[in-house]
Amino acid sequence: NALVYISSGTGEKREYTYRELHEEVNAFAGALKELGVSRGDRVVMYMPMMAEAVFAMLACVRLGAIHSFVFRGCAVGYLAHRIDDAEPKVVVTADYDMSGADAIPCKKFVDAGLDAARFAPGHVIVCRRGSGGSMPMTGGRDLDYADLRERYIGCEIPVEWVESSHPIYILHTSGTTGSPRLVQRDTGGHAVALTTSMRHVFAAKPGETMFAASGASDIGWVVGHSFIVYGPLLCGMASVVYEGLPARADPGVWWRIVEEYGVNTMLTSPTAIRALKKHGFEHMSGHDTSSLRNLFLAGEPPDKRTSLRVSESLGVAVRDTYWQTETGWPILRERSPEPEDEPLEAASFGFPCPGFDVRTVDRESGEEVPAGESGVLAIGPPLPPGCADAVRSNERFIKTYFSDFPRGLYSTFDWARRDEMGRYIVLGRANDVIKTPGQSFGTREIEEAINDHENVEEAAVVEGVASAITAYVVLDDGDTVENEASRTAVEREVKDAVERKVGTAARPDEVRFVSDLPRTRSGKMLHRCIRAIAAGREPGDISTIKNPEALEAMRSARPPMIPEKAEVIEHKGGKE
Ligand code: AMP
């Protein structure tokens, strides 16, 4: 197989061999070509996790066109902006997204986006899910993919050969440091990078099966682009495209998929694992998951306690990978994905992946800091294949990523520490670093200490008013602590734990209990917004936020306390 498509929402299960995938890609390419798409043209995609999304992406590549995914659930204005940005010949969408409890109308949303956009693409292709509901179609513009497919299935559409530097796609980052940034990737370097990473980062082999499961691994995010579509297919593997949320109705669904399709390699996010954890760990051991060699995580610092429990329940190694939309593939990974190698402690220290010249540097001078000290994670030139290219303006690209430090160092805008063995741990965004007189802490350092508390589900730590260290804590039962006495007890224990494990300087000035923390739609904690709220400012660009109500709740989670701290320290470094 090349593709296994499973949807919990529609109940569909489809399998495609490489031959069949080739036919489907040609059919989609035929449809796009009929609508005037050719080399260099943009195609905007607003698609759920469905096989047709893969066909459409690969059809663009076949024609030398550039796909631009827009994340589902964004505001109408955001979609309109992306359409105006890309000026696409065609927009591809579906009638509904069926991943959750309710079907979400994608096409209706695209209609609203097109109404708000200045640029009008020639056509909208709609892939129907068979939901049977009425679907307003604009005559002359909107086309049903089933009709187009019928015309082109069985046709061979000639490949448009392109230079290695020809753009393959554009995509936005998740916006954890500010507004989402536009990233463009080339065709040749991307193929080299992903082929390399399948083999040397994920230890995956042709003929095996890869399952990048929901969370950040949505097809519309970089994780999905790289490891649902391009990576496994370049490697000759079968890739599982699964539409659904394991937390709904059936928390064991992932492990059933692993059993049924003999999945060897999985990739998911700490957020998705956290959601699974809510249903206990029993559902992980009731299936035959012996085919699975590795469960990789990406996108956020993993929660050590949960990773260990998952690893024990499944009997596989849970391994962290650290990377960015800009790089397209892992920068850091745990030493070796081969199971016979000694497992590393679940502290997520990682070695640089081949091609990445990683350093931790002083945020002011750009000089390398010694092992054991923290600094900004930077990458020495040249970046390896697959990393982002300048979009439109070289000047802007250089200014954004290469101007913070001398000697052409690329800034990841992350804060990290190297140990004596040359392994790195990523401690959070450099902008979110908590500065106390004499010492700086990455958000993760303090948050991990809090997360170790048995009643804590998750925590976010920020510098609030007058540099007060403020910890927002979600408790395990998902609710705020009602009882004042137990609240005071947990508050004290949390503060003591930080003092014991991290140091007196890191002790939170205040602990506020909340029922949720703001995250991007790809599952990343929005520290910059939490920091703004804690400091009584507006949260800034929230176009990628998943749960804006969490921000609202935070505003009312007790008025900020102003501690008696002599020194107010300004944030420096990184870009917002
Ligand atoms: P994005 O903007 O979506 O590309 O997010 C990339 C950012 O996510 C990185 O720069 C890190 O801040 C964070 N990140 C990704 N993976 C990890 C990880 N394994 N551990 C810690 N942070 C991570």
pLDDT digits (tens, 9 = 90+) for 483-493: 666 778 889 99
Instruction: Return the ligand 1 atom nearest residue 326 CA.
Output: 4
| 346 pLDDT higher than 60 | no
Statement: the pTM of the whole predicted model exceeds 0.85: yes
Instruction: Kindly report which listed range (145-154, 197-206, 372-381, 450-459) carries the lowest average pLDDT score.
Output: 450-459
Q: Is 429 in the pocket of ligand 1 (CB under 6 A)?
A: yes
Place of tokens 């047709």: 52
pLDDT of amino acid 133:
66
Angle at 548 between CA 252 and CA 540, to 5 degrees: 130
- Give backbone dihedrals phi and psi of 459, rounded to 5 degrees, phi first: -145, 155
| 469 pLDDT higher than 60 | yes
Which residue's CA lies nearest to atom 21 of ligand 1? 301
Which residue's CA lies nearest to atom 10 of ligand 1? 324
Closest to 46 measured CA to CA, from 117, 132, 130, 147: 117
330 pLDDT band, cuts 50/70/90, is very high
| 568 pLDDT higher than 70 | no
Which residue's CA lies nearest to atom 19 of ligand 1? 322
pLDDT of amino acid 216:
62
Which residue's CA lies nearest to atom 16 of ligand 1? 299
Which residue's CA lies nearest to atom 22 of ligand 1? 300
Closest to 191 measured CA to CA, from 148, 143, 225, 240: 225
Query: 404-448, pLDDT tens digit by residue?
Result: 999 999 999 999 999 988 899 999 999 999 999 888 999 999 999
pLDDT of amino acid 177:
87
| 564 pLDDT higher than 50 | no
Q: Is 218 in the pocket of ligand 1 (CB under 6 A)?
A: no
pLDDT of amino acid 478:
53
Do residues 192 and 385 make contact, with C-beta atoms less than 8 angstroms apart? yes
pLDDT of amino acid 485:
64
Instruction: Return the ligand 1 atom nearest residue 522 CA.
Output: 3
- Measure CA of the first residue to CA of the last residue in the chain; give whole Å: 44
Instruction: Kindly report which listed range (47-61, 96-110, 259-273, 544-558) carries the lowest average pLDDT score.
Output: 544-558
Q: Is 426 in the pocket of ligand 1 (CB under 6 A)?
A: yes
pLDDT of amino acid 570:
38
